[in-house]
Structure 1
Amino acid sequence: MSMIKVLIIDDEQHAINVLVDNLKGYKNYTLCGTAKSVEEAISLTQLLLPDLVFLDIILDKKTAFDYLKAFLPNIKFNIIFVTAHNTYAVKAFEYSALHFLLKPIDSEKFREALSRMNDRVSEEERLLRLESLEHNLIRTNGYKWIHIATIEKKYKIHSKDILFIASDSNYSHIYLLDKTKITTSKTLKHYTNLLQDSHFYKVHKSYLVNTEHLKTYNRKTGILKMKNNQLITVAERRRSRFSKLFFS
């Protein structure tokens, strides 16, 4: 088994130490260097050619993207982003389908981060995900780029283009404005957690709707019509709150 060369980039020495200590338990990974600044990180990356980079998002007055832009469009190394626990930042990573590790780091989180590296993606796909992450880390009126993988293909879609998401047991059907339907193995709960702080509302145990794409809503029957004329019934116990939030 070939050795995997690891570079750690973080502007805090104690954070570097934690990663170094955790890495010692993995025989096929070898530490080739550490860096505390973007400039030092760029220089070491060019010199050492690491296979895997642990990359902190904030590097003094610069960011991980200042470092990554030095290697575009051909980033040859895998990346595990390291970030302080922040709900908004975590969602940005989940939207973008990128690997990340939360601080404070423990051995179990570290192990899980390394295990996820088996998910190999093309250089083109990695670039798309990185572009999405940079966009998603900046608040953009609640909308985000989302990466979705299905059996047939991979999609990069903007959440503003989602009409609604329907549950189908352990699967979800995502309906877009352009009439595309995407079926994924993620549950409706997954998308509810991901989109709940945006323009989406779970009107029924089986439906999550983009409230900006509502056409009409009948308060008496609880039936709403989406822009594509799809009729969806709001669950009775959710009608009062739904009406107050969007029609008061």
Structure 2
Amino acid sequence: MITALIVDDEPFARRDLRRALEPAKDIQILGECGNAIDALTRIHIDKPDVVFLDIQMPQITGIEMIGMLDPETMPHIVFLTAYDEYAVRAFEKNAFDYMLKPVTADRLELTLERLRNSFFKHDFSVLPEVNHLRQIPCYGQHSVVFVQATDVEFVEARTTGIYVSDLDGQEHPTALRLNILQQRTNLLRCHRQYLVNVDLVHKLQYLESGLAEFVTRRGRVIPISRRLLPEIKERLGIS
């Protein structure tokens, strides 16, 4: 069970979020706070796993509030804001996620799935240690899905996490970082946000800007960074 605290100075906003969270049976709402001072006390006493925190509050803002928390024991922070301009500042403060008001059901479910994945620990110690991954562990709802590395079209890093795209165009979130996947699979690093399966690439095409991009057999366009282009061409035998 994931425990949660809702912090927002608007009673209607707290009510709406509580109602939206009620269908999630694995989320236990410990309480609500209308200001940062009360929230600091509740966090210290209740130690929630996650705090849904409004950014714009009187006296002490949500961003100011998390600066008052101990980084070692800080819960996951999901910022709530009506303005997407606050998103960058939120992530600079190491927020777990942020949601724009009014919160939609789809966006809330994405955040909840990320929370579940972060708390759903798996013991892989019984598996033999190998340097090369043939399967990539990805997370579904209360499960681990293993995607064959040969079936991966590309991997993309976003602000919401790392996503593995397979041959069918389905996306699977994974806890593995890009550099780990680069080291332990045959996926090629072509951009700071992308790895690509060169066996599934249809062509490399040049752009007028001097950059280039991969086009996969399914027609997906994957960018190639200017810095990595010479290394990629050498690896692929392109003069």
So what's the TM-score if we normalise by structure 1?
0.48
- Whichever structure has more helix as a proportion of its residues is 1
So what's the TM-score if we normalise by structure 2?
0.50
